[in-house]
Amino acid sequence: MIVDCAIYRDGERTETPQDFSDALAEARARGNSFLWIGLYEPTEHEFSLVTDEFGLHPLAVEDALTAHQRPKLEVYDDSLFVVLKPVTYEPKSDTVTSGELMIFIGDSFVVTVRHGTPSPLGDIRRHLEEQHDLLKHGPTGVLYSISDAIVDSYLEVATELQNDLEELEAEVFSPIGGSSRHTASRIYGFKRQILEFRRATVPLALPTTKLAGTGPYGGTTVPFVHEEARPFFRDVNDHLQRVNESVEGLDRLVSDVLSAHLAQMSVRQNDDMRKISAWAAMAAVPTMIAGIYGMNFDHMPELHWIWSYPAVIAIMAVLEMVLYRLFKRRGWM
């Protein structure tokens, strides 16, 4: 469905058009205006109205309708197609939730298509309408504002994940917390959250590099994006690099935490096996002696000795004490 639709002239919201074709023609005729249409999970029929008016490429339209896309930037004859993945952090469940935001940039128009719950798009539009400087730059200003807001939200999510990882580390390396049978599942669940986060941030590095015109794309231009906007997109790219470095660090650390937890469990199991073996060895000695004297042979001289029973008990006690001190000295008990 269409969430919002407006014409912006010199950074000011002027009107809500009834006919997309007339509104776009008017914006192009004035030269200092553009049309911004926002849609939320549109049906094929709803989006076909926009597609016909703006001449959007069929492949990009298919991606916008089906969603489940990686962040990317694609250039077509009449438009620029950008896919972003907004991410939010749920503190109650300690989970990362991602949505999808598709942006079509063209000559005097912006079309945004949103899928899923997480999206700062409404707040971005309201912020731009209150501060008109970026809106004066047309579709380029809208693209920059959306990209900047989403990447800044990545930094906040990365901070929350870092706090969660510190709590997880404290649990794993606590004297009793690391032995919980639920600890491994928590570590694996946290790694899944990082993977969900990586799917949003890592693929976005190439589109922001193209928009910033850095690296191998220093001599190339992106259609429908002003050259003067490159420094602003470089700032977005720098922030994204910080996020990706943080994500890589989190991924390595959680792998190390999982390895440490498994090593701790292995050490504890070895300790338990040594204790069990020590007690079994101590129980074997009196069992062996009692077994010998329980064979009921007639020609066993000790059977008829008056001190046989106390002597055997004393021998058992001495052997038990010797074994106990030996195992204790070696740390098995």
Per-residue pLDDT of the chain (333 residues; tens, 9 = 90+): 778 888 888 888 887 777 777 777 777 777 788 888 888 888 888 888 788 788 888 999 999 988 888 999 999 988 899 999 999 888 888 888 888 999 999 888 899 999 887 667 888 888 888 877 888 888 999 999 999 999 999 999 999 999 988 888 887 777 665 556 677 788 888 888 999 999 999 999 999 999 988 877 666 788 888 888 889 999 999 999 999 999 999 988 888 888 777 777 777 777 777 777 777 877 887 877 777 766 666 666 666 677 777 777 888 888 878 877 877 777 766
Strand partners, 89: 96
> Whole-model pTM?
0.77
Q: Token pair for residue 38? A: 């926002």
pLDDT for position 26: 78
Contact 153, 86 (CB under 8 A): yes
Give the pairing of strands 87-90 and 33-40.
unpaired
Give the pairing of strands 12-15 and 33-40.
unpaired
Question: Alpha helices, DSSP H only, in the chain?
Answer: 20-30, 44-54, 58-66, 121-130, 139-172, 183-201, 205-212, 230-293, 308-329
User: Other C-beta atoms within 10 Å of 165: how many?
Assistant: 18
Closest by CA to 161, choosing from 115, 84, 206, 97, is: 97
pLDDT for position 320: 79
Contact 144, 233 (CB under 8 A): yes
**Terminal-to-terminal C-alpha distance of the chain:** 70
pLDDT for position 297: 63
Residue 33 phi, psi (nearest 5): -130, 160
Contact 78, 107 (CB under 8 A): yes
CA distance 33 to 54: 15
Give the pairing of strands 109-115 and 33-40.
parallel
Helix (H, G, I), strand (E, B) or coil at 14: strand
pLDDT for position 81: 94
